[in-house]
Structures are given as C-alpha cells and as structure tokens.
Amino acid sequence: MHDRYLERIRSLCSLSLRRLPRMVDPRTGLVVFRVDGPDLVPSGTSVRYTAMTALGIERAESAGLPNHLDLGRLDRALDAALPAIDNSGDLGLVLWATARRNRGLAERALLELVEFGPLTQRRGGVAFHSTELAWVATGLAGALAEGIGDERIVRLRLDDAWRRLLANRGDSGMLAFARSHAAPSLRGRLRSELGFFDAQAYGIVAALRRYELLGDDEALAVARTLGRHILRHQRGEGQWAWHYNARTGELVDLYPVYSVHQDGMAPMALLSLERLAGIPTRDAVAHGLEWLFSYNELGVAMANTGRDTIWRSIRRRSPLRRIVFPLKAISLAGVGSGLDLGTRAASPSMLEIDREFRPYHLGFCLYAFAELAAARAERRAA
C-alpha cells in the first residue's frame, strides 16, 4: 500500500508539472480560470488561482522537481493585478504565496491588506467568510515569520483575522460559511450554521501555521477538532464530504465530491495535522487518492495521465442537484441526523462527471505532495 501511495503521488505531481505551463494566459501572465469541453478550451483568468499555483510551484522547486513554469512570470502578473484586488482572501493568498521568496511583492500585498479595512470578504462588505479569513490568517502568519512589515501591525491584523475566524465556528467546532452583520434572513442563517469542506481544510492550515509560529495551544486544539470531524465523515470509497452543519457537526450532503479535495486540500491539511498533532491521517489520505483512480462511485478514472487532466468532480445530474435545498432545510431543522440522506439520494444513475478542471487544483496537489514525490523519485533512482 505504501509503494502504491507514493506512486500515485509521483504520477499526480508529474501530471501537474506537465499541464500547468499550458494553463497560463499569454496576455496577462495569470493562470486561466478553467479548461473544459472536449477540446479542453481555456477560459477566463484568476488572480486567486495564480497565487495557489505559485504556492505549488514554489513547493515543487524547493523539492527539486523538474519545473518549466516561470515563477517570476506569475509574480509579475500578481503584482500587476494587485491594485484591483477587492477580496481580502485574495490578498491573503498573494501574501501567503510570496512571503518566503519575493519580499517586495509580499510587502505590497501586506500594505493592501492592512489598508483593506474590516476583513469582510469584499471591501466595505458586511460578511466575514471563513475561507477568506483562513487565507488572510495564513498569509499574515507568513509575513510575521519572515519579518515583513511592522511586526506590531502585522500581529494585530493577524490576531483580528484569527478572532474573526474563531467567531465563525458552530457549537460543534466546525466552521460555518460566513457570519454577517446584515439584518437577519434565511440566507444569513444558512450561511452562519452550515459550512463546506474548503473552510475546514483551510482552517486547519491556518490554525497549524499559527501554532507553529506562536505556540498557540488553542490553535492546535481548533485544528484537531476540524480534522477529527472531516476524518469522521470520510466515506467508504475515500470521498471527502462537501457540506456540513457547523452547529451539530453532522453531514448535510456528500456531493459534489471534488477531486482537488482528494489530492490537494485534504492532504495539505491532514498530513500537517499528523505531523504536528499526532493524529493518524496518512491512511485516510491514501484512501482518498484511490478515488481518483477509478475506485469511486462511477468506476471511472478522474485522473487521466494521457490527456494530463483531472476532472473536477462527481456530482448529481441536473435537476437532481436541487435536492441539496431540502437537505439544508432538514439539517437546519435538526431532523435526520446521522441518516446520511444525501448519500442515499445519489445512486450511480443519478451521478455524472463534471468534465472541467482548474489550475489551482494542480497547485495544491504540488503543495501537498511535492516533497513526497521527490522522495519517491530518489528511491526509484537509487
């Protein structure tokens, strides 16, 4: 099992390094938003995905993996885009991606973040989003570690982001999607009581970074709680569940199952959790990887090394995706707990593959696994 796990990692990292140079927009230098369709046509660009890609490429270069994507080009594109960024999380990602290696760009990103105002998702907004707060906290921790900016100001901003993130926890300790200062509404209640996998994974990363840097035992406890919840909800074919009730800690819906969770976001959070908190996670991570290689609900390979693609997700067919709305209502009402209704309402005939993929997926795969892929290559060469 260990050899197969390492071979899966090597294969996925090799695919990522081959594909990413072809996902850069030639006009802006940013990575594209996605590729899809039979001909894998690129569309859009994304500052956010460019920062995530840079994180993976930096990790790959540090591990000594062969890379043909110019990290400096990504940095120049991020620098040009910086003045127009209106999302606190995107600024946090740029800071996270550059703090260790491009001081000038990191300083400019930090200045934008310090002057952003309250750390709502959008400048002047009313909602504090968990995912964006985790990105900001991770980026600011990187700035503090590298001595970027005024230490007192960076520490104050970091503590503010961390407090805001903790305030988004439900009674279970899981992170809700967002909390808002707007007038009460059903939408606001849904966002403040229900959450998604991404916030839990990024929350673990932010908490562990804080623990490493500041020795904050509360942060370690937060990471342990989040990790235990998502491990508890991993399903039989290795799937990392998508939608949770932050108040109860129970599952709202398994679907969609995203490939990036299987080989990127879950591994980067959980492998660090094992290293720093002693919670065994490697077997769960390895199980999750197998889902990409045909061991899934549809028996289909999500990772295609021939075309250098990894399909985005397995999801319900339309209009069956609308079932998530009654599942949300049932969860809010506190009934059906533990029945896993979303999984029951998803036979193979009700599911399909979302045949697109996005460059940040490959960036986070490299961020999670580049060091293990390099170790595998060394073992094969010996």
Over the stretch 231-268, which tens digit does the pLDDT of each residue have? 999 999 999 999 999 999 999 999 999 999 999 999 99
Nearest-angstrom CA–CA distance, 102 and 94: 10
Q: Is the peptide bond preceding residue 256 cis, with omega within 30 degrees of 0?
A: yes
Confidence of residue 168 (pLDDT cuts 50, 70, 90): very high
What percentage of the chain reaches a pLDDT higher than 70? 96
**Domains of the chain by residue range:** 2-381
pTM for this model (two decimals): 0.95
Nearest-angstrom CA–CA distance, 79 and 109: 8
Quote the pLDDT of residue 376: 67
Nearest-angstrom CA–CA distance, 4 and 365: 17
155-159, 299-303, 322-326: least confidently modelled range: 322-326
Nearest-angstrom CA–CA distance, 9 and 16: 11
Nearest-angstrom CA–CA distance, 213 and 282: 24
Return mean pLDDT, the chain: 94
The closest of 303, 325, 328 to 313, measured between CA atoms, is 303
Quote the pLDDT of residue 343: 74
- What CATH number is given for 2-381 in this structure? 1.50.10.10
The pair of three-digit structure tokens given for residue 94, joined into one six-digit string: 């740029």
pLDDT at residue 336 tops 80: no
Quote the pLDDT of residue 377: 65
pLDDT at residue 183 tops 80: no
CB 130 within 8 A of CB 175: yes
Over the stretch 304-316, which tens digit does the pLDDT of each residue have? 988 999 999 999 9
Nearest-angstrom CA–CA distance, 239 and 255: 9
pLDDT at residue 380 tops 60: yes
4-8, 171-175, 177-181, 337-341: least confidently modelled range: 337-341
Q: What is the mean pLDDT of residues 21-39?
A: 96
Quote the pLDDT of residue 333: 81
Nearest-angstrom CA–CA distance, 33 and 45: 5
Nearest-angstrom CA–CA distance, 285 and 5: 9
